[in-house]
Structures are given as C-alpha cells and as structure tokens.
Structure 1
Amino acid sequence: MSPATIFLLHLVLGYVPWLLCFGAYGWPRLRSMDRVEAQRAIATLHSFRFFGLVFLVPGVVGPNLPSGFAEFAAYGDFATGLLAMLALVMVRIRPLFWSFVVAFNVAGTIDIIVDYYHGNQLGLPDLAGALGAAYAIPMLYVPLLMITHVAAFYMLARRQPQATQAFSANH
C-alpha cells in the first residue's frame, strides 16, 4: 500500500472510532447538560488548538511540508484556540460568551475544511511523511474537533425548552 493510500485511509478511518465514542459517551453527556455547560465543554477541548502551531516547528515537521498548508493550518488552529479560550473567559458575560462560541466554531470549521482542501491541492497525501511527528494531529485530533464543531452547531441551532429559556434569561 502506498504512503498516500495509507494517509487517506487514516484520514477517513480517524472519524470512525471518534464517532462511535462520541455517540456512545460524548453526545449523551452533552445533551444532558445545560446549553452553556455543553458549549463550555466543547470550548475547553478546542482551547488546546494552540497546539497546531507545531506545524511551523522545524524538526517536528519535515522541511518538505508545503508552507501553504503548514501556515494556514497553524494559524487557523491558533486563532480558533484563542477564540475558544475567550469564550471560556467570557462565560459570565453571556452575550460575549455566545459570540465567542459562534466565532470559534465558525473559524475552526473553516480552518479544518480549508486545511483538507489545501492538503489535497498541495498533494499532502504523497508528502504525508513531511508531517513528521505532527502526523497524528490530522488522524487522531482533527476528527474529534470536526465532530464537536458539528455538535456545537446543532446545539446552537436547536430550540431551547421554554422552562430552560426562562431560567437562562434570569441568570
């Protein structure tokens, strides 16, 4: 099997265990939480996206990693992580909290989609070894990030029960 085929297989299969785990454990727990606490849990996970800056560290990634991929992925992750941290800090100021929740989810989703696009356009599957130690990020971490973005958007879009709306408005 070629390295490009293994890379693509890893990308696709990275979603399978996370979807199974999230469906069995994460989603039921998030749905049982109040809206703010559920979004805080997701923001906490995404606050670690500063780690994406590793795509810019020589020795962690190889010199053949396309800079067009590395820079956008690194700074997109970094911006998303900062926005998630701001959401966490602003939890007591609800309008700002909700603004940052939307912002980090929009920024993070766009980052992942554009990273997939850039990776494909730049032939990343054929250069998968250039990811070096950062290879695990798109295989193990990114699927969970995308799944939780989808969950966050779903929770933002769904209607809140009337009793919960009244309680939230008073707190």
Structure 2
Amino acid sequence: MNNLAYLAIQFTTAIALYLVIFRIYLQPWFRAQTFEAATLPLLVLHAFRYLGLSLVVNGQVDATVSRDALAIMAWGDYASGICALIAVIAISLGSRLAVPLVILFSVAGIGDLLTVGPTASNAGVFEADIGAMWFLLVIYAPILLLTHIYIVVRLVAHLSPSRRASTS
C-alpha cells in the first residue's frame, strides 16, 4: 500500500472517531450555546494553525518536495490561524465585528483546506518523508475539517432570516 492509501485510512478513521466523540460528548453542550459561545472554542483550536509553518522549516520535510508548494500550504495555514485568533479576540470582546471576522476566517480557512490537498498531491508530499507533520495531517487536519463545517453550519443558522425575525 502507498502512503496515500494509509492517509485515506487514517483520515477516515479520525473523522469517524471525532464524529462519535462529538455526537456522544460535545453535541449536547454545543447545541445549548449561543453562536458566539459555540464557535469560540472551535476558533481557538484553529488558532493553532501556526503549526503549519513547520512545513517550511529546514529538515522537517523531505528536501525533494517543492519549497514553493510547502510555502503555499504553510502560509495558508498560518493566515487561517491568524484569522481565527482575530475572530477569537473579537468574540471575547463582544465586538460587532465578530460575525464578519468569523466569516473571514471561514473563507480563508476553507480556502486553505481546499488548496492544500491538490497542492500537496501535486508536490508529492504524500509520498515524501514529512516526519512529525504526518501526525498533524492524520490527527489535526480531520478535526479542522469537521470544525470548519460546524462553524459554517452555525454561521448560516445565525445569519438566517428566520432566526433574525424570531429575535427581533
């Protein structure tokens, strides 16, 4: 089996595991929270996306992998993490910019997640030695994907006309 097959197995297993954990332990709590309270811990999780910069640190990834591809992935992660951190601060301060900043984070973060797969595949990342980054890929990336989906679902519900009409 090649590395991409192992990645698919591990990623799929992680998604299943995280969904079970969410369903059993977290969903009741999240459901009872306001939009801001529910998205805040998820955004904090995304603020750790600065870890993606490890891709461009010498010696962390096989030297045969394109540095340009690694930079695209690393800086996309970093930008998403900074957007998440700014949204965390805005929510924590009760700023009226909180929702627009969550939207900005969602666009940047999902854009990054959609870019990283093809970029990594085209650069041969999945067949290269990526050391400890493999663990981020199979542990952290699945939770990032799922939390992005949940944030967008909550964002859409928060912005829906029926919700706004019921709170006015």
Shared fold (TM-score, shorter chain, > 0.5):
yes
Counterpart Cα distance in 2 of 1:33 and 1:102: 19
Name 2:115's counterpart in structure 1: 114
Compared with structure 1, are the counterparts of its residues 145 and 67 closer, same or farther at alpha carbon in structure 2 (3 Å cutoff)? same
SS of 2:61's equivalent?
Answer: coil
Give the unaligned 5+ runs of structure 2.
none
Runs of at least 5 residues in structure 1 that lack an aligned partner in the other structure: 167-171
Residue 147 of structure 2 corresponds to which residue in structure 1? 148
Alignment of 1:147-166 (within 5 A): 147-158=146-157, 159=160, 160=163, 165-166=167-168
Aligned-pair distance for 1:162? 6.0
Q: Percent identity?
A: 24
Separation (CA, whole Å) in 2 of partners of 1:26 and 1:131: 32
Runs of 4+ more than 6 Å apart = none
* Superposition TM-score, scaled by structure 1 size: 0.84
- State the aligned residue count: 163
The normalised TM-score by structure 2 is 0.86
CA pair 69-11 structure 1, distance change in 2 beyond 3 A: farther
Q: 1:133 to 1:32 in 2, by over 3 A?
A: same
Post-superposition offset of 1:21:
1.5
Q: Return closer, same or farther for 1:3/1:90 CA change in 2, 3 Å cut-off.
A: closer
Moved more, 114-123 or 79-88: 114-123
- State the Cα deviation string for residues 87-125 of structure 1 (Å, max 9, x = none): 122223533111111111111111111101212223333
* Separation in structure 2 between the aligned mates of residue 64 and residue 16 of structure 1, nearest angstrom: 33
Cα RMSD after superposing both structures: 2.0
